Amino acid sequence: MKPKNIAVLMGGISTEREVSLRSGNAVAKALTEAGFNVSCIDVKDEKIEELDHMEIDVAFIALHGYFGEDGGVQELLESKGIPYTGSGINASKLAMDKLATKKCFVEAGLTTPDYITVTEFQEFTEIQLEINKLGLPVVLKPTRNGSSIGISIIKDIKNLQTGLEKAFEFGYELLIEKYIKGRELTLGILDDKALPIIEIKTAVEFYNYDAKYKDNRTEYLIVKTTSGNDKNTVEDFLNNTGYLSPSLYNEAQELALNAHKVLGCRGFSRVDMLLDNIGKFYLLEVNTIPGFTEKSLLPKAAKAAGMSFSSLCKKIAELAFQNSLVTTDASIQN
């Protein structure tokens, strides 16, 4: 059996609404090209009552941020008995919460930058003291936001107050990480397999919102490996943008897949990491619903593996439907 009727959920009520609309429209077009009956739903509340009057085999979630990646819409869809794409409720909650994600990485022994957490209820002097212990530079991140919204790098303590005010606009709790200077890599996971690695090369200091969606200077390089042995890995590969030694390439893919599994993700995800100048990888986060336009990173990785955007969307929808059949069979047996 295969799904026929797919509802694409897009828009949403988070700060990433416009990005989600672009993702959703691209997915709807791709699924239509793949031969599915596609309905588009612009989500504007947490009830989505349109779903109650439709015959749906799979809901394709193209929502980002709040009530998209945080388990909320997943919980609603499960209450309505509608199969959906991507990770389940618990994995979505974990991945959306950067602090919970970090704790999972640390408990599993996966390398991630050192960090602290602070809240807006703490005195500025107390926060400053904690950051001094961690050591500058640091990265300020709202714990529950996507698309790099509210993130800033603090290299001078005099800029801390401004950075805190910016980040606290998106939540009362912040994750403060030790800044790691290195190459930015992202790896797509599809059906428990790591896709080709993409390196992100920005014209600005880090991959922020503008670099993602506005700056045409941002480059996305499909990382290649070179033949030969690895005895000169550090000297030959670490600063060679767009290339990795075979051993480093395999290590990155294994780390990404482990991160996906540690959080309990299913179907697909995108894992972001850094590679420092001595050959050490640092996990940053796992995106359970990454961007879904043809220019987005997961589709770029799939394309590098020989899969068209339409085929990727079709595969994701079919994985969701197959998972629902397995779940149904298990419940019947029990």
The catalytic position among 11, 16, 282, 318 is 16
| φ/ψ (deg, to 5) at 233 | -50, -55
| φ/ψ (deg, to 5) at 311 | -65, -35
The catalytic position among 270, 282, 296, 318 is 270
Q: Are residues 58 and 9 in contact, defined by beta-carbon separation less than 8 angstroms?
A: no
The catalytic position among 37, 50, 120, 213 is 213
In sequence order, the β-bridge partners of residue 182 are 276
The catalytic position among 57, 97, 199, 285 is 285
Annotation marks residue 72 as catalytic: no
Annotation marks residue 285 as catalytic: yes
Q: What single string gives the DSSP state of each residue in 12-77? A: -SSTTHHHHHHHHHHHHHHHHHTT-EEEEEEE-SSS-GGGGGS--SEEEE---STTTTSSHHHHHH
**Ramachandran area for residue 12 (φ above 0: left; ψ -120 to 50: alpha; else beta):** left
The catalytic position among 87, 92, 269, 287 is 287
Q: CB burial class (10 A; 0-12, 13-18, 19+) of residue 314?
A: buried
Closest CA to 110 of 247, 249, 251, 258: 258
The catalytic position among 97, 199, 272, 318 is 272
Q: How far apart are CA 186 and CA 256, in angstroms?
A: 9
Q: Are residues 163 and 176 in contact, defined by beta-carbon separation less than 8 angstroms?
A: no
Annotation marks residue 243 as catalytic: no
Annotation marks residue 287 as catalytic: yes
The catalytic position among 20, 147, 208, 310 is 147
Residue 120's SS3 state is coil
Annotation marks residue 16 as catalytic: yes
Annotation marks residue 173 as catalytic: no
Annotation marks residue 132 as catalytic: no
Q: How far apart are CA 97 and CA 65, in angstroms?
A: 10
The catalytic position among 291, 296, 318, 323 is 291
Annotation marks residue 12 as catalytic: no
**What are the catalytic residues?**
16, 147, 213, 270, 272, 285, 287, 291
